[in-house]
Amino acid sequence: MTDSKTPRLDELEKGAWPSFVTEIKKAAAKKANSQDLLDQLELSYKDKIGYWKHGGIVGVKGYGGGVIGRYSAKADQFPNVKEFHTLRVNMVPGFFYTTEALRGLCETWDKFGSGLTNMHGSTGDLVLLGTTTENLQPCFDELAEKGWDLGGSGGGLRTPSGCVGMARCEFACIDSMDFIQEVTRHFQDAIHRPAWPYKFKIKCSGCANDCAAATARSDFAVIGTWCDTLKIDQNAVREYVKGGFNIDALVVGKCPTKALEYDSAKQELKFDAENCVRCMNCIDMMPKAIKTGKDRGAAILIGGKAPVVKSAFIGWVLVPFMKVDAPYAEIFDLITRITEYFDEHAKSRERIGELIYRVGMGNFLKGVGLTPQPQMVSAPRANPYIFWQDEEVVKHG
Amino acid sequence: MAKTDFGPPDYRTMIPPVIAKNYGKWSYHEIPQPGVLKHVGESGDILYSVRIASARLISTDWIKELCDIADKYCGGYIRFTTRHNVEFLVSDENQLQPLLDDLKARGYLVGGTGNAISNVVHTQGWIHCHTPATDASGLVKAMMDELHGYFTTMKMPARVRLAVACCVNMCGACHCSDIAIVGIHRTIPRINHEGVAKACEVPSVIAACPTGAIRPNPKLKSVEVNKEKCMFCGNCYTMCPSMEIADPVNDGVSIWVGGKVSNARTAPKFSRLAIPFLPNNPPRWPEVTDAVKHLVEVYAANARAGERMGEWIDRVGWERFFKLTGIPFTEKHIDDFTFSPTTFRSTSQFRL
């Protein structure tokens, strides 16, 4: 019935969920490269294999990163995607945009590229998907005129990214958007001229809910928290209970350290402050009644990453608590010490979590000038294989 | 030459006035209906955020359409979420219902808040990656066409986070998702010795192998792969295009469950293997969508209120998880990599 060239992808225009195929077709109506992208993808769907080659080194003047080279392996069939490079544009922290700014970006991308984007890529960048080598520089020049800089790629600092934070969240213990903006500005050279053994990611969440997934996927995770105690408004607690909220099942029973107890006679939520591990559940469940503490800062976790090569790691506690206030001198200094150690000691394509695993956390702590804290471990060692140094033993005989 | 190294646009120039005014001074929030967040400031100001699903791979045409909507109802401001959703920020309560009506008329899905299946974090797949074992956008579309009813409601026991990675590099926080779908290879790389000698750095290729399965072949200035040790991760191919590993017949999809990134209640945890292999069956991957739907439904039927998938499994035990889901437990489920002993059972406490 139909003579469509893309019957498989057409199938993915049906159904309720927004269709990426429809999006490619919109771009294809205007751009020959997006049409070739669609046709090459149809071939991938038919053959069950990808048709992109390894990237070559392409970029814009003055930058070593921010552009990912991409070439079609089927350029003879799809000449318009022979070169189909990605520009990683540094997003606005928190992913807020004015429509004016976005329209300006679209105008430039319609002029120089495929008209296709990712809002946003996994790391957080605003991804402009598909242009030629020739168009990279004029595209970037025009983007830069409009205030858009590139993000990171390769063995350097990747575009820092974070949660919405204080802009629209009562849980935010630190100004994650501002921190992300300032850390990005401070470390521009490390982002744009990658010179480290491998990638290094910084992500920031305003609280332990970690909406930015910082602990799981960043080498240096900044997680907002507090060092005094959370605040309970007993009247508001009563309102929740009166409204039928199951405080025992959803709050008391879920507290990881049994620090909460509801006295139904007194209608009071009792709280063992010293046992609180600031997990956020009670606050999440009763945001009107329970608030974060007032003396706020962040925990720093190190080493989070996906599986390749040694294993996936969820970040490890490095600094149990530190202040994270503008102008962020203390935390910038810590990042500098850590990335210098990383640059000096890591092997090629070794993430910092893998480096720490290889050299030992104790050596790493010494290397970056931090002292061991019990918060760093879930339990002390259970094996007797302790390294003693010469200066720790008595020289004799 | 263009100016360089000026960093991201200043967020202060990109946020609506109500956010600038209440920045750091929000008091609490509610979810009056699925897809709508109501934030109340200490000032008494109210901000509604209306969240819609996005395909993540989007055209400038659609972005401009979003801008038209934001101009009409939101004073020209718009936001995206870490899970690729779009948020319309409404400070004038009178604009809320007209906006919702408009979005409905356009066929957009409003949801992704609270105890819902939110949008799926995913990678580029066949669309634009050089090492994929499957497509990502197609899998997401096929799955969410089945599951969108859980996006537009809040009927799950807790929030459910899905992710798709087109290979084991797992771009995005795939490895800590309630349900993760990961593209896998199952056959060893095919070595083009001439290509390796010409274009690849042999020591780097050897170092890239997690299991030490690659050894040099000095005669050919190339490498050999020990078939017994190779677990098909494809990292050597990332380093060297002459070690092709993609195999249209044998590549496919694995499914992992029970991960989370939040610290709420329980610590962040990895997703664990549920289904080692399902075939690549584009364009709709019916085996994968059926399996994911099944996992979601068994979780929804058995978990207690407030329990994430991993928390439910921790409570009932993996042995019960496999029983309840009917998924066969095989030797593939037992870890045999670096930290495997930490996953072996060291107690006589278990369910029979």
The pLDDT of residue B45 is 98
The three-point CA angle A132-A21-B76 to 5° equals 80
Q: What is the pLDDT of residue A3?
A: 83
* CATH, domain A231-291, list 3.40.50.720, 3.30.420.40, 3.40.50.300, 3.30.70.20: 3.30.70.20
The residues, ordered by sequence, that sit 6+ positions from B266 with a Cβ below 8 Å of its Cβ are: A256, B260, B308, B310, B311, B314
Closest CA to A40 of A80, A98, A93, A10: A80
* Residue A315 DSSP symbol: -
Residues of chain B with pLDDT under 70: 1-2
Report the pLDDT value the prediction gives residue A2, as an integer from 0 to 100: 59
Tokens 């060297």 correspond to what residue? B240
Contacts of B266 in chain A (CB under 8 A): 256
| Interchain contact, B28 vs A93, CB within 8 Å | no
| Mean pLDDT calculated for residue range A353-359 | 97
> Has domain A161-227+296-376 been given CATH number 3.30.413.10?
yes
Cα A82 to Cα A19, B32, B118, B184, B199, distances in angstroms: 25, 49, 35, 27, 20
Q: Which pLDDT value is given to residue A55? A: 77
Q: Does A122 touch chain B (CB under 8 A)?
A: yes
Q: What is the per-residue pLDDT across A28-75, written as a single tens digit (0 to 9) for each?
A: 999 999 999 999 999 999 999 999 998 778 999 999 999 999 999 999
CA B77 to chain A, closest CA, distance in angstroms equals: 5
How far is B231 from B261, CA to CA, in rounded Å?
Answer: 27
Record the tokens describing residue B336, joined without a space: 């045999």
* C-alpha–C-alpha distance, residues B140 and B160, integer Å: 14
| In chain A, where the domains are located | 7-145, 161-227+296-376, 231-291
Q: Is the dihedral of CA A236, A172, B103, B115 positive or negative?
A: negative
Tokens of A8: 């498989």
Top-level CATH class of A7-145? Answer: alpha beta
pLDDT > 90? residue A1? no
Q: Fold identical between A7-145 and A231-291?
A: yes
Distance from CA of B140 to the nearest CA of A (A): 9
**CA of B311, closest CA in chain A: separation in Å?**
11
Query: Which residues in chain A have Cβ-Cβ distances shorter than 8 Å to B273?
Result: none
* A230: Cα separation from own chain's centroid: 27
**Contact map slice: A 345-384 vs B, CB within 8 A:** 347-349
Least confident of A11-25, A49-63, A105-119, A136-150: A49-63
Q: Do A188 and B7 touch (CB under 8 A)?
A: yes
Degrees to nearest 5, angle at CA B82 with A143 and A292: 125
Instruction: Tell me what pLDDT residue B68 has.
Output: 98
Does B5 contact A189 at a Cβ distance shorter than 8 Å? yes
Instruction: Identify whether A58 is preceded by a cis peptide bond (ω within 30 of 0).
Output: no
- pLDDT tens digits, one per residue of A311-345: 999 999 999 999 999 999 999 999 999 999 999 99
Omega of the bond leading into B185 within 30 degrees of 0 (cis): no
pLDDT (tens digit per residue) in A232-259: 999 999 999 999 999 999 999 999 999 9
Contact A227, A173 (CB under 8 A): no
CA distance B288 to B25: 44
List the 136-165 stretch of A: residues with Cβ below 8 A of B: 140-141, 144-145, 147-149, 161, 163-164
Residue B321 and residue B319: Cα distance in Å, rounded? 5
- SS3 category, B49: strand
Q: How high is the mean pLDDT of chain A?
A: 97
Model confidence pLDDT, tens digit, residues A190-248: 999 999 999 999 999 999 999 999 999 999 999 999 999 999 999 999 999 999 999 99
Residue A253 CA: distances (Å) to CA of A26, B208, B286: 51, 46, 39
**Residue A20: pLDDT over 90:** yes
Residue ranges of B 33-92 with Cβ closer than 8 A to chain A: 39, 47, 49, 53-64, 66-68, 70-71, 76-82, 84, 86
What size, in residues, is chain A?
Answer: 397
B132 touches chain A (CB under 8 A): yes
CA distance B313 to chain A (A): 15
Radius of gyration of chain A (CA): 25
Cβ atoms of A197 and A156 closer than 8 Å: no
Question: Per-residue b/e over A225-264, b at no fewer than 16 CB within 10 Å?
Answer: bbbebbebeeebbeebbeeebebeebbbebbeeebbebee
Residue with tokens 């046709």: A39
| B324 phi and psi angles, rounded to 5 deg | -65, -35
pTM of the model: 0.97
Check: CB of residue A234 under 8 Å from CB of residue A268: yes
Confidence of residue A305 (pLDDT cuts 50, 70, 90): very high
Chain B CB contacts of A251 under 8 Å are none
Find the Cα–Cα–Cα–Cα dihedral A289, A290, A295, A298, rounded to 10°: -140
| Tokens encoding A225 | 């928290």
Closest CA to B18 of B58, B99, B76, B57: B76
ipTM of the complex: 0.97
Do B261 and B176 meet the contact criterion of CB atoms below 8 Å apart? yes
For residue B1, the model assigns a pLDDT of 59
- Mean pLDDT, range A350-378, rounded to an integer: 97
User: How near does any CA of chain B get to the CA of A68, in Å?
Assistant: 10
